[in-house]
Structure 1
């Protein structure tokens, strides 16, 4: 398998239309190992057969969006190996995969999660050296692809320079950009100039790692949101564990959306990716922030009750149905005019 940089010319197919959603970031091989009984350090733990599937934040978000019937492409890096072939083959069912060229023999990224019998993660390891090989030049070479997109999702698997280049291109071409923090350590790779980021999705501990602050309660989290606004971010969404989601916008709008309890959690892997996909669906459909978050939570609910990182039950009908079950209202389209959301009239 030969990986090539994406570069359009007159003989190539045209760039996707503005309805296209572009996901930039990680595509890994996910391995899950389920521990039997109580996990113990420094000794052997019995486990069940490990599960293997495609993973990576950007890739998972792209698959969820593909299952929601969105037109989506994935700009990522995979190795010239069996794992890379597997990821491209499996992912191509739901998205257009655009693999970037790597300069050496780097292997495809591998994420290994150790899970307890309740489906909760104990610890995970990530082999992601391949992303260090990607340079900002590949972002600039793909400006036509980015500029033609309806919205861009960027995770923080690539280097700080690549992340900064993507933010710059989206700002210059006025393309809405959603950034996923991925983890506390990767959150630190975000530049200090965040003008061009329209939405940031992170957890409180990830915000702590970036800002160097201790966020003890919701008020501290909202204070952190104001700092992010000053750095250039339009909207910040905090996933606060299994309790609730907080959102805050530069215009002063903020709120809290409760996360309903789930009767049976089978596997939480991929929950954050599902949330981002659900919220992107809500954003592109014109919903206000509260319902954007509710769509994200509804997508999570469909995901964590399966043993898959991306649930094979995800669909537009299932998402709207779960939205109604959780929040007791029919989701309705909105239009945004002069700073106010209005419900569209039924036709």
Structure 2
């Protein structure tokens, strides 16, 4: 398979413009298996296999942003196989794809999710050895691509050295950087020096994995975010399952927003990626942190109503309509009391 770079008609520019968002990380094939009835361990379970689709945190975020009419590029790695060709060709509909050169014959990454009848994740497997083949030199070769970006999203699919190099590069060139933890295991690949990380998005289990502590109550969660601030992270966004989102900043501001459950849940796969895309949109539009998180939650609400990892119906109009449905015309109806944002009661 020969991969050709697509510059999205930027024939006179060697790199994307400053208005472009760059996503660095995973692009793989998603396979979903839904269990029929109650899932049982150590025995055969009846199931149905859904149509495979493109996946990978960075790639999914990039597609969501593309569907939200944002200019976005993806720096990733795929194998010289049919799966890699499928991912590149499908992704180019929504983004500029820059596939890194991979020596040898590692296969394209594959993510397999086992879901219950409610579309909730039971367990997932990830075959991602291809990302271990990428060296920091591949990032250094793409410095102009990174420094010409308005904002960079980095997931933790690449190696520790690649992740550390990217964070350091963004810090040196003052490029706003968002880091997605991806999983508890991959969260541990983050360096202990997190200076240069503008936003860290993770779940409670992932924070526990990185910090090596158990978080059992609200105060411990808040204390954990402060540890991240001490390590250099400017803003921490902690996704607390399906209940709420906690956000904190180095200046001491923090808040918590409940996640509403009015929408029908078809499939939760891709929800975290949608959240990040929604929050990136909020960030580049200059909204304050609580509204940034609200845009993320609104994007999740659109995604979980479909069986697609990235909803085919997502658009700017639908995102703003969902935002209005969840939070009203004026999102400032959140009031700040004792360091926490609360939604005002309807009157």
Decide: shared fold, TM above 0.5: yes
1-structure distance, mates of 2:89, 2:15: 22
What is the Cα-based RMSD across aligned positions, in Å?
A: 1.6
1-structure distance, mates of 2:62, 2:291: 20
Q: Paired residue for 1:109?
A: 109
Aligned residue pair count: 329
Could you say what secondary structure the match of 2:101 adopts? coil
2-structure distance, mates of 1:328, 1:211: 37
Cα offset for 1:263?
3.7
2-structure distance, mates of 1:92, 1:50: 23
After superposition, the C-alpha distances for 1:3-32 in whole angstroms (9 at most, x for unaligned) are 5899xxxx9842111100000000000000
Q: For 1:283-322, what aligned pairs fall within 5 Å after superposition?
A: 283-322=283-322
Query: Which consecutive residues of structure 2, in runs of 5 or more, have no partner in the other structure?
Result: 333-347
Does the CA contact (< 8 Å) of 2:198 and 2:234 recur in 1? yes
- Tell me, yes or no, if structure 1 residue 192 matches structure 2 residue 217: no
Q: Paired residue for 1:205?
A: 205
Q: Paired residue for 2:73?
A: 73
1-structure distance, mates of 2:315, 2:153: 20
Q: Residues 230 and 5 from structure 1, CA distance in 2 versus in 1: closer, same or farther, beyond 3 angstroms?
A: farther
Cα offset for 1:44?
1.3
Does the CA contact (< 8 Å) of 1:57 and 1:155 recur in 2? yes
Could you say what secondary structure the match of 2:158 adopts? coil
2-structure distance, mates of 1:241, 1:297: 12
Cα offset for 1:313?
1.2
- Tell me, yes or no, if structure 1 residue 262 matches structure 2 residue 253: no
Q: Paired residue for 1:140?
A: 140
- Tell me, yes or no, if structure 1 residue 97 matches structure 2 residue 134: no
2-structure distance, mates of 1:307, 1:300: 13
Q: For 1:104-183, what aligned pairs fall within 5 Å after superposition?
A: 104-183=104-183
Query: Which consecutive residues of structure 1, in runs of 5 or more, have no partner in the other structure?
Result: 333-347
Does the CA contact (< 8 Å) of 2:263 and 2:301 recur in 1? no
2-structure distance, mates of 1:313, 1:176: 28
Could you say what secondary structure the match of 2:49 adopts? coil
Cα offset for 1:51?
2.2
After superposition, the C-alpha distances for 1:103-147 in whole angstroms (9 at most, x for unaligned) are 110000000011111101111110000000000001111111100
Q: Paired residue for 2:275?
A: 275
Cα offset for 1:262?
3.1
Cα offset for 1:300?
0.2
Does the CA contact (< 8 Å) of 1:23 and 1:61 recur in 2? yes
- Tell me, yes or no, if structure 1 residue 244 matches structure 2 residue 244: yes
Could you say what secondary structure the match of 1:48 adopts? strand
Q: Paired residue for 1:56?
A: 56
Q: Paired residue for 1:42?
A: 42
Does the CA contact (< 8 Å) of 1:235 and 1:250 recur in 2? yes
Q: Paired residue for 1:226?
A: 226
Does the CA contact (< 8 Å) of 2:32 and 2:52 recur in 1? yes
2-structure distance, mates of 1:14, 1:290: 37
Q: TM-score, normalised by structure 1?
A: 0.92
2-structure distance, mates of 1:23, 1:5: 16
Cα offset for 1:219?
1.2
After superposition, the C-alpha distances for 1:242-275 in whole angstroms (9 at most, x for unaligned) are 1110000001110001101134100000000000
Could you say what secondary structure the match of 2:62 adopts? helix
2-structure distance, mates of 1:29, 1:54: 5
2-structure distance, mates of 1:131, 1:282: 30
2-structure distance, mates of 1:296, 1:194: 23
Q: Paired residue for 1:17?
A: 17
Does the CA contact (< 8 Å) of 1:5 and 1:101 recur in 2? no
